[in-house]
Amino acid sequence: MEAKTQSGCLGIFGNSRGFTLIEMAIVLIIIGIIIGAVIKGKDIIRGAEQKKIYSKFFSEWRITYLNFYDRTGKILGDRTGNGQAQSDTACTQLLNGGTGYYGILQVGLESPTTNGTDVCTYNYTDSGGNIRNLVIRFAYESTAGTYNYMEIQNIPYEMAFAIDRMVDGEANGTTGDFLNTTGASDWGTTPTTTTTARWKMRF
């Protein structure tokens, strides 16, 4: 009877010899797949957020800019009447205008939706977890070509890269309508580093 009990115990615990190398490899592969899926999921979410900001904020401001010109024959942010937007035009002036010039609300246009402190700002969380307060202004380039543009301040390279692809079809900061103000032909090697970009406002 005692021998049978011992035999039964061996039957229960006899295979308790730990993981084999194959089992360990399978576990590591599964962990790797899970980690990869999590990282990929974060990239997809960030990509979706970048597209949202492009379509709901930057593009909406561009459309507002073009509609403003259609209604008034003037450039949004031009306070002097010379066809050139002034970069120091405050956000409240873009909305409400001032002496001798109009803002978008005065001509019946609505401002784009934002999560920022005012309609000219948008908060974006970059891949490093930093909250970047994107700021738009309108200005005029008089040295390297003559054109009005939307200036985007405090934009991380990762977002500038993505927006450049959406606007120009390629991420090259020196060609097309979306430009890197540093003059670099790319958008840097550190994704979370911020810069100032400009989007040409063409008619």
- Write out the two tokens for 128: 């490093």
What is the model's pLDDT at position 186?
77
Asked whether the predicted pLDDT for residue 10 surpasses 50, the reply is: no
The predicted pLDDT at position 18 comes to 66
pLDDT tens by residue, 87-136? 999 999 999 999 999 999 999 999 999 999 999 999 999 999 999 999 99
Q: What sign results for the dihedral spanned by CA atoms 59, 57, 93, 199?
A: negative
CB distance 53 to 162 below 8 Å: no
The reply to whether 115 falls in a domain is yes
Full strand arrangement of the beta sheet holding 178-180: 121-125, 131-141, 147-156, 194-200, 178-180
Rounded CA separation 199/201 (Å): 6
Residue with the two structure tokens 């800019």: 65
Least trusted range by pLDDT, from 27-36, 71-80, 92-101, 139-148: 27-36
Mean pLDDT to the nearest integer, 187-196: 90
More confident call, 183 vs 29: 29
Range of the domain at 43: 18-200
Distance CA 82, CA 9 (A): 95
Please indicate, yes or no, if residue 171 is contained in any of the structural domains.
Answer: yes
Query: Distance (Å, rounded) from C-alpha 152 to C-alpha 163?
Result: 11
pTM above 0.75, yes or no: yes
* Residue 11 within a domain: no
Q: Does 6 fall in a domain?
A: no
- The mean pLDDT value of the chain amounts to 87
Q: Over range 9-25, report the average pLDDT.
A: 64
Q: What is the reported pLDDT for 14?
A: 52
Is the residue at 149 inside a domain? yes
- Does pLDDT of 5 surpass 70? no
CA–CA gap between residue 67 and residue 27 (Å, rounded):
58
pLDDT, tens digit (0-9, with 9 covering 90-100), for 59-69: 999 999 999 99
Examine residue 8 and state whether it is found in any structural domain, yes or no: no
Query: Count of residues for the chain?
Result: 203
How many domains, the chain? 1
